[in-house]
Structures are given as structure tokens and as C-alpha cells.
Amino acid sequence: MKIVVIGGGAAGLGVAGAAKGQDPSVQTVVYTEYEDVAYSPCGIPFVHGKEIESFEKLFLATKEQYVAQGIDVHYETTVESIDTRSRTIKVSGEGEVRYDKLVLATGWNYDTPDIPGAELGGIYHVKNIRAAMEWDRYLDSVESAVVVESGPIAMEMVSALQHRGIKVTLIDPGPWPMAEVIDPDIVEPVRKDWADSGVTLKFGERVTAFRGKDTLTHVSTTFGDVEAQLAVIGSHKVANSALAKAAGIKLGSTGGIAVDPHMRSSDPNVFAAGDCAEIPHGVSNVPLQGLSGSHAYAQGKTAGINAAGGSRVHNPVYVPWGMLAGQWMIGGVSFGETLATALGLPFVTGVADGITRARYYPGVKPIKVKLLADPSSRRLIGAQMVGGEGIKERADFLGIVARTGVTVDTLATMENVYSPAIGALNEPIAMAAQALVAKL
């Protein structure tokens, strides 16, 4: 059997590895238009910020390791089209290539705003690692930069640019950072931290033009001109699903490829995984697209196992997430108040301010937990958190709580680890659940 994978990111290499694991005899060919596969684009801001010493650290494996695993990767090779009837793809420089099963892992693109001057040098879309290496050298010459919209990578770039001593202006049409996902009370410490550390914050404003001769020198905005040698574009991720659409494969309302729980598309011989596909949300059943690298990798493994003749069912997603933003960690699960209000979901909240270690232990940090529950079933439907540490583990835990239907009554009486160096007497999740139960 020959499995062809288009795309060499987390999903694509997840497919190839899982397919080989399911059936070592399958022939697995991966096509990527880039020079590399399977690196962590989310790590790029941390190399720019000098927290990580080199871009080489971001690669998951060497090219030789893929060869040793029997995964045939065709680098810098463009797939031009798909013919699902003849089960062939047309590859630039190779002609027609036949497949038994095809997996689309074509990833995402930035939803780049249509702004005049976008072709100028100095406008940076953080994504490709080779480009990031070039940009890293360019950053040494930059004195001032603008970050356009506050997507997750852009928020990390704000801190990275600051670490490089670059003056940063964040321009976002939203009312607060990541306003489509995060609640204003949760993100407020981050906003204040940025403002206190010298980031110029312009919310509710837009970039109207990029200016310069060949390279960016300043940015025109709805509040005036800003000098900048660099503009980091932090807009939304949109599915790179053009190949699938041209082949007649069905897309969903997100623009991502519609898939079943085996990650199979509308064509029985074509699978899709990662940011080019859409997955239903576990609480609302509304499909989502553009999740994290861990979601892409897990979807890739499901698609790879099934494409190689196995059987694995993927679950709807509850989206535990977390990130570093300035000196804070923020994160959550499923819905915050803003999203739940937008969708019109019935919910009740419980909020608690707690600490991450014993109050007397060095390094103790504050943490705020907000839980959302459905008032009729009393089940958790979302959470948002901000704190100095311990966000990731709580988000992972609350993801399973939402998925398995644990009620807030159970959370309110949960047991918790107490050890001065790693956990406080009162667990903030339990405190927030107690506050929520008191309202029900």
C-alpha cells in the first residue's frame, strides 16, 4: 500500500510515523514545499527572544532519521493538483504520482489583512524556520517594530522583541489582547505588564498602510504614523485547503476540510489532519479549525493509523490551551465568558484568586481561576486562568473534566496535593468551583 502525505508539519509527520507503526510494510511518501519538516514553529519567538539558543533545537528529528524510519520525504516539492478519480496527484518536477490513500496535512496560512504596502520588505509572517533564521539576523538592525493583531504567536513575539531591546507597538482592532478567546479580567495582568514594561498598546485601532521605499520605514494607522522597521503580522490562522477544494473535497463552515472521526474526508481514500481540517467542539458541537500543534499531531496519528488499515476514532476537542505572555501564563479550556456569551450558551461562573505554592515558600505566585458551568447539568463547560505558574497542568486536567462530564459539585470537593514547594493548602480550582456552586 502507498500512502501519500501532503505537508510536513506536525500532522504530516504524525501521519507518516503512525502509518509505519500500524503497518511497517506501507510505503509512505511525504511532500513538502519547504526545506524542512517537523519543527516547532511555535518555538520561533523564543529563539528570537534568546530564551532558546538556536533554531536547530526546534527540529524534532534529523533528515537522516526519517530515512532510517523508511519515510520518504520530498523536500521543496509542490503538489499542484489532486485527481481523486484516478487516485493520482500532480507533482511539480515529478509528474503524476499514484496513491492508495492520500492524507492532506497542508496546514494553515495567515489571514493577511488587505493593507497597502504589504509587499514591502520588513513585514514578517512568523511561520517558516528558514525564513526565521534570516529574520533573526534582520532583528539586530531593528530599533522599533509594530505587531499587527494579537494572535498567539504575535503575543509571544511582543515579549521576544522586547527581550531584543526593540521598541514595540501592538496595534489590534480588538478591545483587548486576544479578545476573541480571552476574557478581559483574565488578560488584564498581561496588558498591565506590557504597558508597565514600555510596550505601546493600541487596541481598537487598525493599520491602514505600510510605508517605505523598498523596506518598511513606518506604518500608517487610524491613530497616526508609527516609525517601524519591522511589522509582525499576527492575524488569524486560516485553513490551507485550496488543493482539497479544487479536487472537489468538501469543506466546512470554517473553510477547513470536513472530516469524520477517522479523519476521513468526503472522499473515502482521502484523509485530512491538522490545521487544514476542522474538528467538532465537544461542548457546542460547532466545528473548529486552527488549534495547537499537539492537536495537529494527534489528528495526524489518527489519520495515519486509519489510512494504513487500522481503526482509531478521534474525539471531539475540548481545547485545553496555555501560553506565556510577558511575565504571566494564561490558559484555559473550551469557553471563556466572552465566547460563551457570543454563542448564547447558558452558563454560571465561579472565580477564585489563589496561590501556586505555600504562602511562605520562596517563589510563590498568584493564580486566578475562572470556571464556567452549565446551570442545568452542573457540568464544566469552560475555564480561563492567569498566573505565575501551573497553568498548563490545570488546563490539561480541566480538559478531561469537561470531556468526562465531571460536575462542579465534584470539583468543589476535590482532593489536592499539598506540599509547600509545589502546591498550596487550597487548590484554586476547588475554590472557584465552591464559588460557582454557591451561585447555583
Partner 1 sequence: MSFFRWLRSNSEHALLSDAQRRMAARYGANPPARPHGLKDRWWRQVFAPVYRFLPWGLRRSTMQAMPGSHRMGWPKPEYLPPGDH
Candidates 242, 342, 421, 440: give the one binding partner 1 (CB under 8 A). Answer: 342
Residue 42 per-residue DSSP state: G
* Other residues' Cβ atoms within 10 Å of the Cβ of residue 120: 17
Using CB atoms within 10 Å of the CB of residue 159, give its burial: 0 to 12 exposed, 13 to 18 middle, 19+ buried.
Answer: buried
Query: How far apart are CB 133 and partner 1 at their closest, in Å?
Result: 34
Candidates 81, 215, 404, 416: give the one binding partner 1 (CB under 8 A). Answer: 404
Using the rule CB under 8 A, is 320 a contact of partner 1?
A: no
**Which part of the chain contacts partner 1 (CB under 8 A), choosing from 49-57, 59-67, 212-220, 398-406?**
398-406
Query: How far apart are CB 289 and partner 1 at their closest, in Å?
Result: 9
Query: How far apart are CB 372 and partner 1 at their closest, in Å?
Result: 13
**Which part of the chain contacts partner 1 (CB under 8 A), choosing from 257-265, 326-334, 353-361, 387-395?**
257-265
Query: How far apart are CB 170 and partner 1 at their closest, in Å?
Result: 13
How far is Cα 283 from Cα 288, in angstroms, rounded to an integer? 12
Query: How far apart are CB 138 and partner 1 at their closest, in Å?
Result: 32
Using the rule CB under 8 A, is 229 a contact of partner 1?
A: no
Name all contacts of 261-266 with Cβ < 8 Å and 24+ positions apart: 261/313, 261/314, 261/315, 262/302, 262/303, 262/306, 262/311, 262/312, 262/313, 262/314, 263/299, 263/302, 263/303, 263/306, 263/314, 264/306, 265/104
* Other residues' Cβ atoms within 10 Å of the Cβ of residue 397: 16
How far is Cα 1 from Cα 29, in angstroms, rounded to an integer? 11
Using the rule CB under 8 A, is 180 a contact of partner 1?
A: yes
How far is Cα 332 from Cα 343, in angstroms, rounded to an integer? 17
**Which part of the chain contacts partner 1 (CB under 8 A), choosing from 38-46, 127-135, 304-312, 336-344?**
336-344
Alpha helices (H) in 98-183, listed in sequence order: 129-139, 152-163
Using the rule CB under 8 A, is 299 a contact of partner 1?
A: no
Scan residues 268-297 and list those touching partner 1 (CB under 8 A): 277-280, 282-287
Using the rule CB under 8 A, is 255 a contact of partner 1?
A: yes
Using the rule CB under 8 A, is 261 a contact of partner 1?
A: yes
Nearest partner of 136 among 112, 166, 108, judged by Cα:
166
Using the rule CB under 8 A, is 374 a contact of partner 1?
A: no
Query: How far apart are CB 244 and partner 1 at their closest, in Å?
Result: 13
- Judged by DSSP in three states, 369 sits in strand
The residues binding partner 1 (CB under 8 A) are: 173-176, 179-180, 183-185, 188, 203-204, 250-256, 258-261, 277-280, 282-287, 313, 315-316, 337-339, 341-346, 379, 403-405
